[in-house]
Chain A
Amino acid sequence: MKKIPLVHLAHARSGDKGDTANVGVIAYDEAHYGLLRDALTPAAVKAHFGPMVKGEVERFELPNLYALNFLLHGALGGGGTMSLMNDAQGKVFSTALLRMRVEVPDDVAEAVRGRGRVPPGWTPDRQGSGSDGQ
């Protein structure tokens, strides 16, 4: 087994509802959905965020989309226009979760190496070229 950052296994998007941030995590590969479900327990996600999430972490499963939805309560400094945070609407909590390290079998770690990151040698003027990797 190896510990790798979640960013190699899943993509994600986040948003806000009041003082709660939501993070939807979507497996790149349907075969890894079960692995995410086992690793990303509400307790593990709460521990990952530490002081960033004041309230509880709720989790919902969307197996048809290979996705998990997390509600991070008390994460946005009051939320809306009350918050003093740069990320007052939780737009990038998604990537904060993708920093989390999860344990996967060695062959999975090997197969997903580099996934989710800009490939070496890429430059912005080549936007949209290259393989789409899907």
Chain B
Amino acid sequence: MSDRVVRVAGGQGFWGDDLEAPVRQVEGGSIDYLMLDYLAEVTMSIMQKQRARDPEAGFARDFVPLMERIFPKCIEDGVRVVTNAGGVNPDGCAEALVEAGRRAGVAGRAKIGLVTGDDLMDRLDELLAGGHELANMETGAPLSTVLGQVQSANAYIGAAPIVEALSRGADVIVTGRSTDTALTYGPLIYEHGWDEGDHDRIASGVVAGHINECGAQCTGGNCLIDWWTIPDMENVGFPIVEVSQDGTFVVTKHPGTGGRVSRATVSEQIVYEMGDPTTYITPDVVADFTTIHLDDLGNDRVRVHGVKGGPRTDFLKVSIAYSSGWKATGTLTYAWPDAAAKARSADVILRRRLDRLGLQFDEIRTELVGWDSTHGPLVGEPPADLPEVQLRVGVRSSDRAAVERFTREIAPLVLTGPPSVTGFAGGRPRVQEIMAYWPALLRREVVESHLQVEVREV
């Protein structure tokens, strides 16, 4: 037992987050770990497409130039980096990282841990033949019904390979579909020597991970409560969790940064993307979020304690993406007077033209941006004196040609429809392939027997 506190900093909440944030986390004060979460449900399928076009792609490319910037400082300060930037090509990511490390001058001084085995794409036939149905958790349908359309399939993996890579001396750990929270609680298990039966402590680490995994969303970003009073958001501090051996921790941010850490900002992040709070399932523990106690200590520090957890399940969640048709969205802006009436009239004309062309769509959706596109029918009828409104029409179809033709029917409305219309300078709408999400469960040993940890020298 020790009273040592381990400081894990969150540096990215998704692929596309503030590029400067990880640099501020490394340079702004003392931390032990930098955690970078790049993956969301649809990210893996996007990466899979990129890899199909270029075998060296398929990971979060931003991570490589970032590491080139911060590598020397991380090595000098002993800050270890844990990330799921590897996406569907962690091997390629690790290779690019070795090169970046050499360019950054850390050759001979840095080790990269590579975790593979979460990717099930090449094993789907074998798994189905072996009696693993990979049934859709929401509909119960077996995966065989969409097998030919599957674009990516990855198991959410837990802390074990991260702990192994750390124990083998890795300074930077690159994984594929590691569970977001494991990027935080993996290092905690390693540092504090928690074992599999320490359910409450690991559950507390899961809560720390949940708070850490969306970047500034717990430090003032996207915070509804008194948002207009939150200071210096241009220099917002990203989260740091300071975790004790007993699992209790403090959420904070570096001194001198903007934003706010309070009971309220942390509470908002805790309820984000929450299901049943009594059973927050991860690969290593089932955490009970109703047991969380928060103490606001002031000065941007919130203490978290009391978290309870239960044993892990026999299954891992699998995230599968499959192609499911095409969609496009077109917009036009209509001005006063009677802006909404004009927009709705244009919508009717557009739909009749699509009908006359004999085009089939699975869905056509019309929204008025500036009136009902976020709160729907809750806002009632638009007033006649609405100064302007944007017509937004989306279509979805398994027939790509129908969606293509739709994209050519928007601009003509400018000269062939209701008046006072503008805002079409962006050109034709883009046709997008739909990647549908298929969540499934798989017995954990089927995945864990294939997990591999490799340590490479820079």
Contact = CB atoms under 8 A, between A and B. Distances in A.
A35 interface: no
Contacts of A105: none
Interface string A47-67: 011111000001011111111
A54 to B, nearest CB: 12
A24 B208 CA distance: 18
Contacts of B229: 128-133
B274 to A, nearest CB: 5
A87 B374 contact: yes
A80 B273 contact: no
Interface of B: 41-42, 138, 222, 224-226, 228-233, 258, 260, 262-264, 267-278, 289-294, 306, 324, 327, 329, 363-365, 367, 369, 373-378, 392, 394-396, 432, 434-437, 439
Contact of A85 (B230, B365, B395): B365
B377 A51 contact: yes
Contact of B363 (A17, A24, A64, A84): A84
B273 A84 contact: no
B264 A84 contact: no
B17 to A, nearest CB: 15
24 contacts: A11-B224, A11-B268, A13-B224, A13-B271, A17-B273, A19-B138, A26-B268, A28-B225, A60-B274, A61-B290, A62-B277, A65-B271, A69-B275, A69-B277, A82-B436, A85-B367, A87-B374, A94-B224, A95-B224, A95-B375, A128-B229, A128-B232, A132-B229, A134-B226
Given A11-B264, A128-B233, A24 B294 contact: no
Given A52-B376, A61-B290, A64-B291, A122 B228 contact: yes
> Which 8 A-B pairs rank lowest in CB-CB distance, beginning with the nearest?
A24-B271, A128-B231, A84-B394, A15-B273, A84-B365, A86-B373, A11-B225, A132-B229
B294 A26 contact: no
B271 A127 contact: no
Contacts of B324: 82
B290 A86 contact: no
Contacts of A78: 436
A118 B272 contact: no
A66 B264 CA distance: 10
B374 A96 contact: yes
B42 A81 contact: yes
Nearest to A73: B138
Nearest to B327: A84
Contacts of B264: 11, 26, 134
Contacts of B436: 78, 80-82
Nearest to A24: B271
Contacts of B396: 82, 84
Given A85-B367, A131-B229, A132-B229, A63 B290 contact: yes
Given A13-B271, A24-B270, A128-B258, 19 more contacts: A13-B268, A15-B273, A15-B274, A17-B273, A18-B138, A18-B437, A24-B268, A50-B378, A52-B378, A60-B290, A65-B294, A80-B437, A81-B327, A81-B432, A95-B374, A96-B375, A118-B228, A128-B231, A134-B263
